[in-house]
Amino acid sequence: MDQIEFNYNEAISRNIGWVSEQEQLKLKNSKVAIAGLGGVGGNYLLTLCRLGITKFHISDFDEFELANFNRQVGATVSNLKKNKLDAMIDLAKDINPEIDIKSFPQGINDSNLDDFLEGVDVYLDGLDVFCLELREVLFKKAREKGIHAITVGPVGMGAALVSFSPDGMSFDDYFGLSRSNTLAEKALRFVMGIAPSGIHQKSLVIPERMDFKNKKAPSTFMGCQLCAGVAGTELLKALLKRGPILCAPYSLHFDAYSCQYKKIYLWLGYRNPLQRFKLWMAKKVFRESFLDSH
């Protein structure tokens, strides 16, 4: 078979109509940072490549393993024990060999945080649900740099979005993670803040699998794929200044299993009286996860 020469304009030509040629050029020249290339982060990278984004800062220090197969787009037999960063770069360049990727193979830390967000237009949160201290630092730094930051949770068989503009409610004022003394409570606050409507709960048939103490939670590939669509669309609107963009304290949640969509205005964020009551109730339900947690 004759080798076909890659042509960007032809490759993304079917985007035109939903975006203009000028808007597509804006997408092409925008830079996106993605921390974590697992369940949602890997899907984000490939989705944005097909959207026509060509500039990325990405990070991950982990390898693919069998436990990733149910939800991570790069988890295949041929990629077992392969570094996620290298595997996902290969997949991304197989979509667009012209993309410009700066990788951070050691993960994100104090020494490279500024470099990771340098020149970035939008930050997409692809971190594991229990990677909370780094998540706090990243969202705070993004806000300081005037970067729009997006987190979408693959909650059950759906996707739950909370978007943060640099001049709106902050990540900490919305989730209140810094007010928690244990990782288990931080994780619970995060999950409840991502999806305060709770419309996903009926599809969780074994609640005990939500193990905050041991940093394990059930997940589905459907949820991760839905997250990529939601995150990609929110990112498009943020980059092209096309509204409406509802930022925190709003959350948006679509649950495919229950066929429900909820838009919640969480007045006062984590300080909301009803949210505080639900947190108290949830801690009683998952009390085993809070015994000896740290």
Reported as a single tens digit per residue, the pLDDT across 86-145 is 999 999 999 999 999 999 999 999 999 999 999 999 999 999 999 999 999 999 999 999
Domains belonging to the chain, first-starting first, are: 16-178+197-207+218-268 (3.40.50.720)
Please compute the mean of the pLDDT values over residues 63-91 and round it to a whole number.
97
Q: What is the 3-state secondary structure (H, E, C) of 185-248?
A: HHHHHHHHHHCCCCCCHHHCCCHHHCECCCCECCCCHHHHHHHHHHHHHHHHHHHHCCCCCCCC
Q: pTM for the full model? A: 0.94
- pLDDT digits 0-9 by tens, 233-284: 999 999 999 988 999 999 999 999 999 999 999 999 999 999 999 988 888 8
pLDDT at 291 over 60: no
The pairing of beta strand 100-104 with beta strand 55-59: parallel
What pLDDT does residue 289 have? 57
pLDDT given at position 19: 98
Q: Which of 20-34, 181-195, 233-247 has the lowest mean pLDDT?
A: 181-195
Provide the pLDDT confidence category of residue 213 given band limits of 50, 70 and 90. confident
2 has a pLDDT exceeding 70: no
What number is the average pLDDT over the span 175-201? Answer: 92
Instruction: Using a pLDDT cut of 70, give the percent of the chain over it.
Output: 96
Q: Determine the average pLDDT of the residues in 189-207.
A: 91
- First-to-last alpha carbon distance for the chain, in angstroms, is 58
Q: How confident is the model at residue 287 (pLDDT cuts 50, 70, 90)?
A: low
Distance of CA 124 to the CA centre of its chain: 5
